[in-house]
Structure 1
């Protein structure tokens, strides 16, 4: 099948180049001009899509070419752009940076090539004059199918922009479509897992409106729309997903548990799930359900509040003791342990369904893409079942589990992880269920069996 999807990707030479700020600024500006955008993030990051979502009012999606196949990425791009006039993709890291030092696999460049998306390169001009032209020229000629159709100059003053634009267009064969100055009042703070989440930013909507004003003043939005409109048709295959069972799944969602891939949740709904969101921070009990999902997030920042909510902790233990099917990822897994120690080393009691402690460290642990292989039959798959996943956490635990084997993307390291049995999969790895939809089907079937038994 073929689809016509006007689309662009914002990419850069490296991280911290302004991709998220400019992406949000353009999304907000387009909305205010009556253009309805869809938003996507290249790679596994959970936080940047939260900012997109706050701007456009509907969920931003992740397109990750390690966790998902090329065919699935094309399908999800088309599916989630159907009601929109333009798809805006935000890149990850440097444009060509992929799985390893010498690889472009799973990079922004790889995704742009797979989806034939025109690219706007964001060039950070701080501390550079004519050298910025050399950098731009290098990016535009590093690969023959680079897809770069324009450049936005970041961290540049209005007075210098005309000179930089003239110089760059003289020295390179790329058009400059605008600039963005440094806006201290719109800066987004960071912490140990990247930017703070959108819900924690004070006056976020006001900041986004200021960003949109700047985008209208200094970025040629009409030219961006023209570039997006010239994108080639996308070839894709419709995925065959049919309802399995009508079940109710409780999903933890608040400031402590907020890392979810929206397409994974949508897949569960298509398979028959009714999702019921609840807050382990504020609610007293898990809603009546046939399955439970505890996603990742920042439980280490809310240890005191989580520990004080003894009613919810008791409810979690009760639900799991009744063999309710449960997926617990990263922060959700930590919540099921006996204790979480905060950044000062002070331990706080958690659900205690699994033996062991989680402790914050000063470095990332087992960071990166992995392939998981089941060592026994479990809630999500039979022994030998595989799915690509990723880990990204500053904590570690005394009980990481041993029912799956993880292999890093280079194949150089292997370790055991995840507690898994017929009712539970709990561990540090993050899964995207479109990476292996059979995992989602297995979960729904198990929830359906549990519902049948529960309803008598």
Structure 2
């Protein structure tokens, strides 16, 4: 089995609606200024990939356990080889360990292990305090084979909350804090299947 040496990250979260797609889009835009970036989306989602394609200026490919079955790794490697890109981003769906199966065999965590990709956790901290540390430690300890490489604190409510959360994370964990984002009044609207499409957003503006 071919090993992948290319730099890559897997954007995940505790739960859905944490802001991971918005963060993934922003990171794709930023990374594409420095790297030739290729993005992937877990599952059969077709809306989020439209946003990732727009941000990265490259196609976005789906990594879905149902359609690809045990071919996910080879499909992933082939897309990397064909792309000639030098940085790769995978956006997960739902929470890191969420799955319809008890053993989590089709979860984000499983996909991160299969693709050997470090995970960045995006956390909606709008209603969290010091308990965030317990949640993060639980994430890290739940499956030691998943490499959680850092955390992004999203929807920070105040400077005081940000300071307290950073102090708690640094004191009780070894997780790098990769970024903090304040609560925003501007966002991409959501529907029952996730974000609205690019076309719908343009229509809403008009």
TM-score for both structures, normalised by structure 2:
0.89
Distance 1:103 1:203 in 2: 42
Instruction: Provide the secondary structure at the position in 1 that maps to 2:144.
Output: coil
In the alignment, the residues of structure 2 paired with residue 135 and residue 183 of structure 1 have an alpha-carbon distance, to the nearest angstrom, of 24
| Deviation by residue 1:295-315 (Cα, 9 ceiling, x = unmatched) | xxxxxxxxxxxxxxxxxxxxx
* Cα RMSD for the two superposed structures: 1.9
Q: Which residue of 1 aligns with 2:108?
A: 108
- Stretches of structure 2 that go unaligned for 5 or more consecutive residues are none
CA distance in 2, matches of 1:3, 1:128: 37
C-alpha distance in 1, partners of 2:96/2:55? Answer: 24
The SS at the match of 1:87 is strand
Match of 1:124 in 2: 124
User: Alpha-carbon deviation of 1:146?
Assistant: 2.1
CA distance in 2, matches of 1:12, 1:192: 18
Equivalent pair of 2:8/2:118 in contact (CA under 8 Å): yes
Structure 1 residue 136, shift from structure 2 partner: 0.8
Distance 1:203 1:181 in 2: 27
User: What is the DSSP-based 3-state SS (H/G/I as helix, E as strand, rest coil) of the residue aligned with 2:85?
Assistant: coil
Which SS does the other structure have where 1:164 is aligned? Answer: helix
Judged with a 3 Å threshold, the aligned counterparts in structure 2 of structure 1 residues 203 and 87 are, in CA distance, closer, same or farther, namely farther
Task: After TM superposition, list the pairs within 5 Å mapping 1:35-434 onto structure 2.
Answer: 35-70=35-70, 72-82=71-81, 83-100=84-101, 102-157=102-157, 159-160=159-160, 161-185=162-186, 187-202=187-202
Higher Cα Rg, which structure:
1
Work out the CA distance in 2 between the residues paired with 1:194 and 1:3: 30
Matched residue SS, 1:3: coil
Question: In structure 1, the residue corresponding to 2:65 is in which secondary structure?
Answer: coil
Correspondence for 1:25? 26
Q: Distance in 2 between matches of 1:63 and 1:145?
A: 20
Write the distance in 2 (CA, Å) between the matches of 1:20 and 1:103. 25
Question: Could you tell me how far apart the structure 1 residues matched to 2:173 and 2:24 are?
Answer: 24
CA apart distance, 1:45: 1.3
**What is the distance in 2 between the residues matched to 1:18 and 1:26?**
12
Q: CA deviation at 1:105?
A: 1.6
Would you say the 8 A contact 1:40–1:60 is kept in 2?
yes
Look up the match of 1:12.
Answer: 13
TM-score (norm 1): 0.42
Counterpart CA distance in 1 for 2:134 and 2:203 is 38
Structure 2 distance, partners of 1:143, 1:2, is 22
Give the Cα separation in 2 of the matches to 1:77 and 1:179.
Answer: 30
Q: Secondary structure in 1 aligned to 2:68?
A: coil
Higher helix share: 2
Give secondary structure in 2 for the equivalent of 1:121.
Answer: strand
Shift of 1:113: 0.7
Q: 1:144, CA displacement in angstroms?
A: 1.6
CA contact (8 A) 1:11 1:119 kept: yes
Q: Which residue of 2 aligns with 1:252?
A: none
CA distance, structure 2, for counterparts of residue 81 and residue 183 of structure 1: 34
Alpha-carbon shift at residue 94 of structure 1 (Å) = 0.8
CA deviation map 1:248-300 (0-9, x unaligned) = xxxxxxxxxxxxxxxxxxxxxxxxxxxxxxxxxxxxxxxxxxxxxxxxxxxxx
Answer whether contact 1:123 1:136 (CA < 8 A) is retained.
Answer: no
The 1:56/1:181 distance shift into structure 2, 3 A limit, reads: same
Q: How many residues align?
A: 200
Contact 1:15–1:93 at 8 Å: present in 2 too?
yes
Q: Deviations over 1:111-151 (max 9, x none)?
A: 00111110011111111110111111111111121211111
In 2, are the aligned partners of 1:11 and 1:19 still within 8 Å (CA)? Answer: yes
In 1: Cα distance, 2:144 partner to 2:125 partner: 24
Q: Which runs of 5+ in 1 are unaligned?
A: 205-456
Q: Report the Cα distance in structure 1 between the residues aligned to 2:73 and 2:53, rounded to whole angstroms.
A: 20
